[in-house]
Structure 1
Amino acid sequence: MRVRLASSPARPDRPNEDFVAAGPDVVVLLDGAGAPPGTPSGCVHGTAWYARSLGGVLLAEIVPERSLPEALGRAIERVNGLHGDSCDLGHPGTPSATVTIARRHGGMLDHLVLADSVLVLNRPGGELVISDDRLAITSKALRKSMDALPTGSTEHTTALRSYVDSLASYRNQPGGFWVASTDPAAAGEALTGSAPLQDLDEVALLSDGASRLVDRFGLLTWAGLLGLLRHNGPETLLAQTRAAERDDPEGRRWPRSKTHDDATAVYWALRD
């Protein structure tokens, strides 16, 4: 398999809360759901630790005889045990993460997408874009007041804290959205599917910080993003994303919770 990947933290003084890894015939990408600094979480380890821990355990749990939701559920359960007695797993701010998996198995490419990262499958007839939009639907009304304020301002920071607090009550609830955290049952809510390998040319996995040139900024199409990854690599995609963000630091053109986000992109060429 030929895989290229790149990851960039939102800020150099804060840990990257994305996680990405590739093993034989599988790629795993997680985007930790970070909260504003000082927000209580009930966990002494932090979001970056959670994303790394869950990602590493998940990679080990993905074996041929196991479905992807089963592997994710087992990984969530195992990481619950890693928290230890020092963490309150019932706290609404307990760390969580999106999960995106692509696995080559038995002539098929299996996938799993949980929460708002993006998987793009390139087929001869065009791109198939898979993203879980339940978070976007749930958050649309909750974030209106925040999006009307300049990103980074004191007022925006206050509104962001309120938004995060409000969103917590919808997490892993029917009618809300689902994400990997402490409940293994969330794995069963993921979007899953399979496609014949013979019908696919390439695959891209993107955290929402890396997909925003298309789905938030509208500066690229999905075909253009795949072409950029194919010819220039994930590093170039992330560099162009950072350039666009710097051109709109206060989020006036593209409202968002923070000027920069952790960004991770994976390009997997399925044909040599």
Structure 2
Amino acid sequence: MRLSLATEPASSDRANEDFIGATPDAVVLLDGAGTPADLESGCSHGVAWYSHTLGSTLLAGMTQRADSLTEILAAGIKATASMHDFCCDLSHPGSPSATVVMLRRTAGTLDWLVLADSVLVLDVLDADPMVICDERQALTGSRYRASMDAAVGGTPEHLQALSRYMDAMRAHRNVNGGFWVAAVDPLAAEQALTGTVPIDRVRAAAILSDGASRLIDRFHLATWPQALDILDQDGPEELIRRVREVEHGDPDGSRWPRGKIFDDATAAYCRI
């Protein structure tokens, strides 16, 4: 695989809660679920620590073990929990969590796993791109978005609505009928979307946090084939630059209502 990648925090004064890591045969992306300042998490380390620690653990597991991606994710969640269960309250409903995308090349196949709302796009031969995203979080969140989307972005009213939204979502995290993310319970790995594709059917793969995919799936200013063209011709930096341009052009979320006016954005592009 020939890999290019880029990541950029939402703002320079906050840690990037995305994680991206790669080896010659594996790529891992995590998007940490940020917590508003007025909501407690029970963890003294924070979301960036969680996503970066779990991400590096998963990448090591993918290169050292032949287990399934589901098994590697479960073991990674368990191992990361053990690193702070003695000093943090992991039973807290706001304990740090993250989306996960894992991609691994074997002799003749590409194995993939997607948990929550980061996106994997496979540019397959003789067909439309295969877009894989776990939509359970978005479907659950649609029940609670109205007041947040109606508020002017960046105002105290919007921040308060965002906190109420995230507080409401905690009750649906990692429960049947809700949505699933990597957090504390290794059983969440069993809820991930997984698959295998013959490697000779795939030209390239794109892995995007939702801060990078919003150019396509929230702003609707590019199609998935167009996004693949941007990544192929101009690289992940250009995709993120276009996202930032749109965000700056809609600073109050009036055209595109969104919880985060700016979001951490990460994109990886693999030529197979």
TM-score of the pair, normalised by structure 2: 0.98
**Contact 1:5–1:267 (CA<8 Å) still a contact in 2?**
yes
What runs of 5+ residues in structure 2 fail to find an aligned partner? none
Q: Which residue of 2 aligns with 1:259?
A: 261
Shift of 1:60: 1.1
Query: After the TM superposition, which residues 44-193 of structure 1 pair with which residues of structure 2 at under 5 Å, given as runs?
Result: 44-62=44-62, 63-124=64-125, 125-193=127-195
Q: Which residue of 2 aligns with 1:40?
A: 40
Give the whole-Å Cα distance in 2 for the aligned partners of 1:233 and 1:196.
Answer: 25
Give the whole-Å Cα distance in 2 for the aligned partners of 1:162 and 1:58.
Answer: 32
Shift of 1:24: 2.8
Give the whole-Å Cα distance in 1 for the aligned partners of 2:144 and 2:176.
Answer: 17
Shift of 1:38: 3.3
1:224 aligns with 2:226: yes
Q: Which residue of 1 aligns with 2:24?
A: 24
Provide the secondary structure at the position in 2 that maps to 1:112. Answer: strand
Give the whole-Å Cα distance in 2 for the aligned partners of 1:256 and 1:16.
Answer: 19
Q: Which residue of 1 aligns with 2:217?
A: 215
What runs of 5+ residues in structure 1 fail to find an aligned partner? none
Q: Which residue of 1 aligns with 2:10?
A: 10
**Contact 1:100–1:113 (CA<8 Å) still a contact in 2?**
yes
- Cα RMSD, aligned residues only: 0.8
Give the whole-Å Cα distance in 2 for the aligned partners of 1:18 and 1:151.
Answer: 22
Give the whole-Å Cα distance in 1 for the aligned partners of 2:37 and 2:141.
Answer: 20
Shift of 1:144: 1.1
Provide the secondary structure at the position in 1 that maps to 2:256. Answer: coil
Shift of 1:105: 1.0
Shift of 1:64: 5.0
Equivalent residue letter for 2:21: A
Equivalent residue letter for 1:163: Y
Give the whole-Å Cα distance in 2 for the aligned partners of 1:35 and 1:29.
Answer: 19
Identity of paired residues, percent?
52
Aligned pair count?
Answer: 270
Give the whole-Å Cα distance in 1 for the aligned partners of 2:73 and 2:86.
Answer: 23
Provide the secondary structure at the position in 1 that maps to 2:38. Answer: coil
1:202–1:173 Cα change, 3 Å: same
**Contact 1:98–1:115 (CA<8 Å) still a contact in 2?**
yes
Q: Deviations over 1:181-215 (max 9, x none)?
A: 00000000000001001100000000000000000
Equivalent residue letter for 1:165: D
Give the whole-Å Cα distance in 2 for the aligned partners of 1:262 and 1:38.
Answer: 20
Equivalent residue letter for 1:99: V
Shift of 1:106: 2.6
Provide the secondary structure at the position in 2 that maps to 1:15. Answer: coil
Shift of 1:84: 4.1
Give the whole-Å Cα distance in 2 for the aligned partners of 1:190 and 1:84.
Answer: 24
1:248 counterpart (234, 247, 250): 250
**Contact 2:4–2:235 (CA<8 Å) still a contact in 1?**
yes
Equivalent residue letter for 1:17: E
Give the whole-Å Cα distance in 1 for the aligned partners of 2:158 and 2:90.
Answer: 29
1:194–1:203 Cα change, 3 Å: same
Equivalent residue letter for 1:8: E
Equivalent residue letter for 1:186: A
**Contact 1:64–1:105 (CA<8 Å) still a contact in 2?**
no
Give the whole-Å Cα distance in 1 for the aligned partners of 2:135 and 2:56.
Answer: 26
Shift of 1:25: 0.5
